């Protein structure tokens, strides 16, 4: 599933192409990919709208349209938004085609878990998916103290707490594993047991890993691509994620792979305390 760096990369690449364009038509090939407001069909309300801005909240893309409407896009596991300069032959699993004043935007999703929602702009942050999200980890007001307050009541494994979008928005399996390795913290630590020095290290690790992921334009193993169809390269810099049984880059011992909260987790028993 695309995490914060991937969604931010998609946002930036979309901004290069679709800002201030008009959605002249919508071709809906699978109705389950979208959800419209109660009164209007999705295509009817989106058609003719101008794209004013594109923002990100956690793993969600927020596309502001004119006249008080917004799209909320969630890629889930295999969703992609690809821009094409002109009419383009659709892939097998393309479910929505937005025909713009200059080019096309295709929403493709092999496993059909992704969704695009149409909501009134004034109410979008009250949508159930957004109103429960924790703080943005790259914002200035996200401090070690804030992180500590989010973990204070979490008597669960640290890995599980950080995957909870109510604690911190945008983190997923890849960047949690990498952040915990950089911070030297075991994913099995109880979340509310961290001391101030450890919280500071974790806070710094989260921000540095996410920034590195964005600079590398995300992590591509299978499905993830930006709006231009380009892969990211952060997979080449991973130190623990996906490397179970391989040698730790710091101490040379074999990395451990185990399940935590239903998610595969890789870490170093020696370097992560």
Q: Rounded to a whole number, what is the distance in angstroms from the first to the last CA of the chain?
A: 28
Domain ranges of the chain: 4-131, 144-267
Q: Per residue in 120-144, pLDDT tens?
A: 999 999 999 999 999 999 999 999 9
The pLDDT of residue 39: 60
CA atoms within 13 A on the CB side of 69: 21
Is 2 an annotated catalytic residue?
yes
54 contacts: CB under 8 Å, gap ≥ 6: 11, 14, 15, 18, 19, 61, 62, 63, 64
256 contacts: CB under 8 Å, gap ≥ 6: 244, 266, 267, 268, 269
Q: List the catalytic residue out of 12, 47, 99, 263.
A: 263
- How many CB atoms lie under 10 A from the CB of residue 111? 11
- Cα–Cα distance for residue pair 131/206, rounded to 1 Å: 22
CA atoms within 13 A on the CB side of 249: 11
The pLDDT of residue 57: 98
Fold of 144-267: Helicase, Ruva Protein; domain 3 (1.10.8)
Is 144 an annotated catalytic residue?
no
The pLDDT of residue 46: 96
Domains 4-131 and 144-267 share a fold: no
Give percent helix, percent strand, percent coil of the chain, each to the nearest 5: 30, 25, 45
The pLDDT of residue 179: 98
Distances in Å between the Cα of 273 and the Cα atoms of 55, 133, 180, 183 are: 37, 28, 10, 9
The pLDDT of residue 88: 84
Q: List the catalytic residue out of 49, 56, 59, 189.
A: 59
Is 153 an annotated catalytic residue?
no
Q: Per residue in 230-271, pLDDT tens?
A: 999 999 999 999 999 999 999 999 999 999 989 999 999 999
| Full-model pTM | 0.95
Whole-number mean pLDDT of the chain? Answer: 95
CATH 3.20.190.10 fits 4-131, yes or no: yes
Is 197 an annotated catalytic residue?
no
Compute, in degrees rounded to 10, the torsion defined by CA atoms 262, 267, 271, 273. Answer: 0
């Amino acid at each position: 599933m695309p995490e914060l760096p991937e969604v931010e990369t998609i946002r930036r690449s979309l901004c290069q192409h679709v800002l201030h364009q008009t959605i002249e038509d919508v071709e809906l090939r699978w109705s389950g990919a979208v959800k419209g407001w109660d009164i209007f069909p999705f295509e009817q309300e989106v058609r003719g709208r101008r794209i004013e801005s594109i923002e990100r909240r956690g793993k969600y893309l927020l596309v502001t349209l004119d006249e008080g409407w917004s799209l909320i896009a969630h890629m889930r596991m295999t969703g992609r938004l690809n821009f094409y300069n002109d009419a383009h032959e659709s892939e097998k699993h393309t479910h929505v085609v937005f025909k713009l004043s200059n080019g096309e935007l295709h929403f493709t999703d092999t496993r059909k878990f992704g969704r695009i929602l149409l909501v009134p702009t004034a109410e979008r942050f009250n949508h159930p998916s957004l109103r429960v999200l924790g703080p943005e980890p790259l914002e200035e007001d996200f401090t070690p103290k804030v992180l500590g307050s989010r973990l204070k009541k979490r008597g669960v494994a640290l890995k599980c707490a950080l995957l909870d979008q109510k604690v911190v928005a945008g983190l997923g399996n890849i960047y949690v594993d990498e952040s915990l390795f950089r911070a030297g913290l075991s994913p099995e630590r109880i979340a509310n047991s961290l001391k101030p020095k450890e919280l500071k290290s974790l806070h710094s690790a989260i921000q540095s890993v996410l920034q590195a992921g964005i600079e590398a334009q995300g992590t591509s193993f299978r499905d993830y691509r930006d709006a231009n169809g380009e892969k990211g390269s952060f997979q080449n810099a991973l130190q623990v994620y996906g490397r179970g049984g391989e040698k730790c880059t710091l101490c040379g011992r074999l990395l451990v792979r185990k399940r935590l909260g239903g998610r595969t987790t890789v870490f170093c028993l020696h370097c992560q305390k």
